[in-house]
Structure 1
């Protein structure tokens, strides 16, 4: 199977090469400007690092219950999958505290990086565009973006006047796997220089279906061997994951003034969610760590009740004369709180964070030199209350300054590089920590008129340990661990080298990115002891440790377009392979790494309707770390058909009736990057029927 799929991906690319001389009026890629990247405006293919822009149509096609699930088809991206309620993207094997999730260029100001069961306060269901920057291209966003940046752009505060005075974009879909619905709507109205934007979205998903057992065969066998007798099956392991429901509601509005050379706007966003915590044991003994009289007790159907209110003020002015070209500033403030209920009506642990983040960026030009410099500031408080709070109140303050410059010559050669200095202060009852951070990068690239682009970039990045890594000390029942932080952790340093080569014609493209990152003082979680005990309160002790580590990986991707091909359809073929390994200095493996993954897709377009197929193949993951079990690979087949109602005169372009069949073969899928992979498989076969209406 591996060889067959690799051949299919190669054939997709080579087929495009063979048709590179097709009619000139058909352009393969409508590339987007990557607004998240520092420096002057550049298209996806003009960055040395691998950058991806996903527009509204692409978001809807791959939309999942959470941000990580929506993006996991992209090269070098996987998910921390924690059921339908929570997941974050993993970039090149790095996640959580090393991937910065942004909303319109500013952090989400939540607690999603502290635990995989915490939902990210950003979602693609009502987004205009999502941008992904992998590796050092994210340098301007600081140490927490050492693995990359995912920027969810909601379009609430436009910088230019929309073309139409009134526009409406509606989405509705039904998912059979959870008997769930998803709805979203956007209204935008323009009156002179004033733009009003309103959005709303809702998800209502019941417990989702799976092909068989929720517990993996590997875990089942391990528990049988440990207990020395037949292991009793889970009650919910009968084709449905109990307590995997999710309900979300989001409402947002933005009001902007947009002039010829300036803009100013304010937006407010309210997110509310309730979702179950499937697979979490939520059981422990007495405070002394033994059962005795106090037998281990379970918490029935634990769930999270979440709410966040966020305010954004954003403005900018185009000077377009002299040295300075444009100045843009953003201030965001958010209040976030979620309560982890042990059972309905029984509130347990409460997590709260409130914070303010501001960013000022100025673009400039001096001869061949174009770039940007700026300041960034954040002030955030994280607190937790309750018997299962594993972290104490922490105040974090971060101030940074950055500079990024590019130079281009007429012969296609270019240089780019930047630097960022940063100071991070964390105040906690158990001690204060301060970190002075420095990051820098330097790269060179060359364009040729025949479509080739090659580049090489080196970067040094530094990251301050987050609140959990420093101060955790308590039960973390979502991951079934007793977590212990270390206040003496040093800053984490990474030295990255990345090379890229791309070729593009009007009907075909191909690219490869090779990278290697050597970490000095990589922070990770591993089995340990507390006061000599490996088990505390009926949970295994896990400590945050630090040692050197090396990440090595590659992303290979290609796309081809064949107009008026077989069956008189316009055909699009795409394929991608990504692989990464993470090895610790002592010879062990970094835990929860994604396996070798291949994605192959094809789409046939007949103007009025289209059909598409996508195959994801993931290899076994046997390079495990700590007490982690190996993960079996899988092959997932997805099918899609679209009827373009706009071709029949209904609505504007984009008005579509669609049917998705996801995981058609009802494959058992377990993500190697999920801490609950052996207790929580991904959903089984799902028929998703929906409509998008654009007016």
Structure 2
């Protein structure tokens, strides 16, 4: 076995330049789904540049192969990825967890389904699930930072691109497929997935290729090691029966003798946290030696509980906001509403999606390929309050992308293109907090790359024109002022990158960028109760576009035994938009308002891997990672912290692998988060131990039996980035068993 090749697929943190080309509808992508076992330098970043190797890029990219996904796969995209450097999640239970990258979430992190947006409502609110099922993914790319503006200047945090091969891009080599069946002890749940692809017809260089997949999950309420409510919130509410220091030891025994004043609190299990999910798709492609054209239809249904009732929220914990809610928000914007009851809330989510894409190789002297993508989705989710329908969210969206691949000489290449998207979003019901909006965006982008010797240079730019049109039929008094008050924004972004191979195996690079982002519809138009998040949300239609100026430094070393990469980044935001709780309530719901302030962001990510050699037929590998990010309002404002920023975190692990067995044990750690915003409670850190064992009994058959133990010692852990952190901890000990077969 080539230990070096294997280990680099474990630790695929690497570097990415200004990735504006970004067209996944490139013929080269079809070659990338078989990259397992290749050296890191041979892996092309399909989300970014055609034929670009990871080792030739500046920034920070992680690629998860199917084998790595077997270890990390979870019920949601956020929980699948949150163990990676610089990544955490919004954790709102098993049904809804969206990735947060470098402390940025919402529409600042773009969710892509094979290169096109998820076209759901997950960026609208943390209780809305991402309409991408990781169960059938073949690989996932995570690109951090501003180096992905081909997909939109809003994605300042990065993107997550999930590839599942739903549209075949080359002829199949016989019939192939895979299936997985698994069981989880914590939620007493079962899950499974299957996929199949092959040629319906083949003649010479032509083929008609089909693809079909299906997946399903049925998970019960999950168990936790203690109380759902944190001691910090419990004490802040006036129950001072705990020591104020709150030792990091969380009563490892988890004694059953509860404190008298906590006797009726949720303990040991989170009610209304169950999940059922069903998904399936069918695709067909016509493939020739010049390219391909294909389509896919996908159906998704998810029903999941929002595990916390309306009675929990943070009350008056901190200083007043002073002028924050005097300058930005008009009190007249908040109307009277009826008092709300306390019912279990569930989300019933449905999406039907149609994708089409193609690629054509050209014989032009400088224009080498033409690629296009089209996607349409009809999305609906219903918030069920007990047996009653509360609020219905609908999102009908269409996206189109056309791009070229250019080669002017052996040293100068590039890509240019345009994208267009339209979105009809509507929230229907007495508790709708956003008016009906039609959002449109036109984008133009170009990137050019120059390489000479050990140097590589990239420069790129993107222009976007975004419009928001409020329905003329608005009758709700909260939104009547928005009718016929259309908004438009013009955003221009530019970035330049230089990379240099110092010596063999040592690479360094620098990216400088200036980006602009139009406010999202939630930031502009929110004005109403959102019971699923136990809040009254308030936006501001007077927000200006958000501007960011900054840079990122990359240093990477790679030889036969050691791999390490360090990334440091800094960004100054002129008019950063964020949501923060206020020390007041509207109809017994805490008021959450959006603000626009000047903010600085700084942070770093460091990864290291070391091959310890071979012992008794096992390749031994040690790996570790650490990441840190900090957001603060400018000193000219008040130099205060922003809310929901992840703490210092990291992990260390040891892995041993042979041709038959694979063993892995790791410690996942997060520090205390004491640098909190006004009216935000601090969060205690944690250390979770996870273990993984895989057994492949047959040399000539791809069959594996996998055993995974998450949170092995049943410790309490809370994600500071979750709005429910003080009433919803991470699941306790979970033993997962799965069987995977591929042919």
Q: TM-score, normalised by structure 2?
A: 0.85
Contact 1:60 1:125 (C-alpha < 8 Å) held by counterparts: no
Q: 1:603 to 1:546 in 2, by over 3 A?
A: same
Residues 1:584 and 2:633 are matched in the alignment: yes
Q: How far apart, CA to CA, are the structure 2 residues paired with 1:514 and 1:51?
A: 14
Q: How far apart, CA to CA, are the structure 2 residues paired with 1:613 and 1:146?
A: 33
1:20 maps to none
Deviation at 1:449, TM superposition (A): 4.7
Deviation at 1:563, TM superposition (A): 3.8
Q: Deviations over 1:193-233 (max 9, x none)?
A: 11111011111100001001000000111112599xx9953
Deviation at 1:280, TM superposition (A): 3.8
1:201 maps to 215
Q: How far apart, CA to CA, are the structure 2 residues paired with 1:154 and 1:278?
A: 30
**1:574 maps to which of 616, 619, 623:** 623
Contact 1:661 1:688 (C-alpha < 8 Å) held by counterparts: yes
Contact 1:280 1:479 (C-alpha < 8 Å) held by counterparts: no
Q: 1:226 to 1:537 in 2, by over 3 A?
A: farther
Residues 1:628 and 2:680 are matched in the alignment: yes
**1:169 maps to which of 146, 160, 178:** 178
SS at match of 2:647: coil
Q: How far apart, CA to CA, are the structure 1 residues paired with 2:340 and 2:66?
A: 48
Deviation at 1:661, TM superposition (A): 0.7
Q: How far apart, CA to CA, are the structure 2 residues paired with 1:61 and 1:194?
A: 34
Residues 1:279 and 2:308 are matched in the alignment: yes
Q: How far apart, CA to CA, are the structure 1 residues paired with 2:155 and 2:38?
A: 33
Residues 1:656 and 2:704 are matched in the alignment: yes
Residues 44-193 of structure 1 aligned to structure 2 (within 5 Å):
44-162=54-172, 164-190=173-199, 191-192=201-202, 193=207
Q: How far apart, CA to CA, are the structure 1 residues paired with 2:694 and 2:60?
A: 30
**1:242 maps to which of 271, 279, 282:** 271
1:6 maps to none
Residues 1:366 and 2:408 are matched in the alignment: yes
Residues 1:676 and 2:724 are matched in the alignment: yes
Deviation at 1:433, TM superposition (A): 0.9
Q: How far apart, CA to CA, are the structure 1 residues paired with 2:312 and 2:61?
A: 43
Residues 1:556 and 2:600 are matched in the alignment: no
Q: 1:280 to 1:419 in 2, by over 3 A?
A: farther
Q: Deviations over 1:134-160 (max 9, x none)?
A: 112112111221111111111111322
Q: Deviations over 1:463-514 (max 9, x none)?
A: 1111111000001223222111100000011112100010111332111000
Deviation at 1:562, TM superposition (A): 3.7
**1:347 maps to which of 389, 399, 419:** 389
Q: 1:445 to 1:231 in 2, by over 3 A?
A: farther
Q: 1:137 to 1:283 in 2, by over 3 A?
A: closer
SS at match of 2:486: strand
Residues 378-393 of structure 1 aligned to structure 2 (within 5 Å):
378-393=421-436
SS at match of 1:564: strand
Q: 1:379 to 1:219 in 2, by over 3 A?
A: same
Deviation at 1:180, TM superposition (A): 0.7
Deviation at 1:235, TM superposition (A): 4.4
Q: 1:663 to 1:283 in 2, by over 3 A?
A: closer
1:535 maps to 585
SS at match of 2:289: coil
Q: How far apart, CA to CA, are the structure 2 residues paired with 1:617 and 1:498?
A: 25
Q: 1:195 to 1:181 in 2, by over 3 A?
A: same
Q: 1:207 to 1:568 in 2, by over 3 A?
A: same
SS at match of 2:236: helix
Q: 1:327 to 1:491 in 2, by over 3 A?
A: same
2:524 maps to 470
SS at match of 1:348: strand
1:4 maps to none
Q: 1:44 to 1:236 in 2, by over 3 A?
A: farther
Unaligned runs of 5+ residues in structure 1 are 1-11, 14-25
1:611 maps to 663
SS at match of 1:125: helix
2:45 maps to 34
2:546 maps to 492
Q: How far apart, CA to CA, are the structure 2 residues paired with 1:175 and 1:111?
A: 28
Residues 1:356 and 2:398 are matched in the alignment: yes
Q: 1:282 to 1:195 in 2, by over 3 A?
A: farther
Q: How far apart, CA to CA, are the structure 2 residues paired with 1:620 and 1:215?
A: 17
1:222 maps to 236
Residues 1:317 and 2:329 are matched in the alignment: no
Contact 1:582 1:589 (C-alpha < 8 Å) held by counterparts: yes
- CA RMSD for the aligned pairs? 2.2
Contact 1:224 1:231 (C-alpha < 8 Å) held by counterparts: no
Contact 1:288 1:537 (C-alpha < 8 Å) held by counterparts: no
Q: How far apart, CA to CA, are the structure 2 residues paired with 1:392 and 1:225?
A: 40
Q: How far apart, CA to CA, are the structure 1 residues paired with 2:570 and 2:266?
A: 41
1:508 maps to 562
Q: How far apart, CA to CA, are the structure 2 residues paired with 1:40 and 1:266?
A: 21
Residues 1:694 and 2:736 are matched in the alignment: no
2:714 maps to 666
Contact 1:27 1:507 (C-alpha < 8 Å) held by counterparts: no
Q: How far apart, CA to CA, are the structure 1 residues paired with 2:383 and 2:421?
A: 27
Q: How far apart, CA to CA, are the structure 2 residues paired with 1:401 and 1:232?
A: 60
Q: Deviations over 1:520-578 (max 9, x none)?
A: 1000112348xxxx32111122211101111100000012234423x441112211111
1:298 maps to 342
Q: 1:231 to 1:138 in 2, by over 3 A?
A: farther
Deviation at 1:30, TM superposition (A): 6.9
Deviation at 1:630, TM superposition (A): 0.4
Q: How far apart, CA to CA, are the structure 1 residues paired with 2:261 and 2:110?
A: 41
Q: How far apart, CA to CA, are the structure 2 residues paired with 1:282 and 1:353?
A: 29
Query: Which deviates further from its counterpart, 680-689 or 446-455?
Result: 446-455
1:255 maps to 284
Q: 1:624 to 1:55 in 2, by over 3 A?
A: same
Residues 1:522 and 2:576 are matched in the alignment: yes
Residues 1:423 and 2:423 are matched in the alignment: no
Q: TM-score, normalised by structure 1?
A: 0.91
Q: How far apart, CA to CA, are the structure 1 residues paired with 2:624 and 2:724?
A: 29
**2:375 maps to which of 327, 332, 343:** 332
SS at match of 2:107: helix
Contact 2:73 2:134 (C-alpha < 8 Å) held by counterparts: yes
Q: How far apart, CA to CA, are the structure 2 residues paired with 1:694 and 1:61?
A: 16
Deviation at 1:237, TM superposition (A): 1.7
Q: Deviations over 1:38-80 (max 9, x none)?
A: x442122222110111111111210111001000111111111
Q: How far apart, CA to CA, are the structure 2 residues paired with 1:307 and 1:156?
A: 19
Deviation at 1:595, TM superposition (A): 0.8
